[in-house]
Amino acid sequence: MAKNIQLSTIIIGICVSISLLFVGYFIYKGLKTFSDKERVVSVRGLSEMTVDADYANLKIKYTEGDNDMQSLLNKIEENNNKIVSFIKSNGLTDSEINLGVPVIKDKKNTEYNNNYSSNSLRYYCEETITIQSNKVENVRKIELSQFDLYKQGITLSQSSYEYEGDSKYTFTKLNDIKPKMIEESTNNARIAGEQFSKNSKSKLGGIKSAYQGQFEITPTENPLKLKVRVVSSISYFLND
């Protein structure tokens, strides 16, 4: 009877030992797998492309003044006709030209008229004519030749002529180049990850996380050339 109890105890002990060995092995494998998965490298891939502007938005602003309202309105109409003719002579049409509503100020009857004198013009006007067109080369030519309007007696405002602050050339076909640029940026990120894994004597694993940055369109020295840029940030697992 005692021998049977002793034998049973030995068998139970052996089974427990074997079970503990298996449990320990699987715990070790689990911890090792978890540890391997936590070894990551984060890299970035850049893609840049220079594109041609395909849409232009140019504002031509001028000022005019007179002591008589009707005379001022006649001058505005005359100036607008000159500017429209100038624009059309450079290859644009009426559908690409928008005449703004003149902003007229009466300096004599304004709330703050301390600077008004009998020698000053009473009525003062600011007018804006906007060009919106996909004929970017034509619009650029107009922008560079606005000095011709001075010769016709039109006083352009600084933001329109001197500083070119209201001229804008844009690229509208971003969706057409997105797939190619995303592919290039992710490939460049993987190349960087592979180089890191090679240097660290590891193997590049799967993707842990990825972030696609926003597309940026920035000007270049040539107003008709724009630079499109995107960065992909990717984290890869590293394996032994």
Residues of the chain with CATH 3.30.70.2970: 55-170
Q: Give pTM, 2 decimals.
A: 0.73
CATH 3.30.110.170 maps onto the chain at: 37-53+172-240
pLDDT single digits (tens) 174-233: 999 999 999 999 999 999 999 998 998 889 999 999 998 999 999 999 999 999 999 999
What is the CATH number assigned to the segment(s) 55-170? 3.30.70.2970
Closest CA to 63 of 145, 130, 160: 160
- Note whether 183 and 28 are within 8 A (CB): no
* Residue 207 β-bridge partners: 236
CA 86 to chain centroid, in Å, comes to: 33
The CATH number fitting domain 37-53+172-240, selected from 3.40.50.300, 3.40.50.620, 3.30.110.170, 3.30.465.10: 3.30.110.170
pLDDT given at position 11: 58
Give the count of beta carbons closer than 10 Å to the beta carbon of residue 234: 22
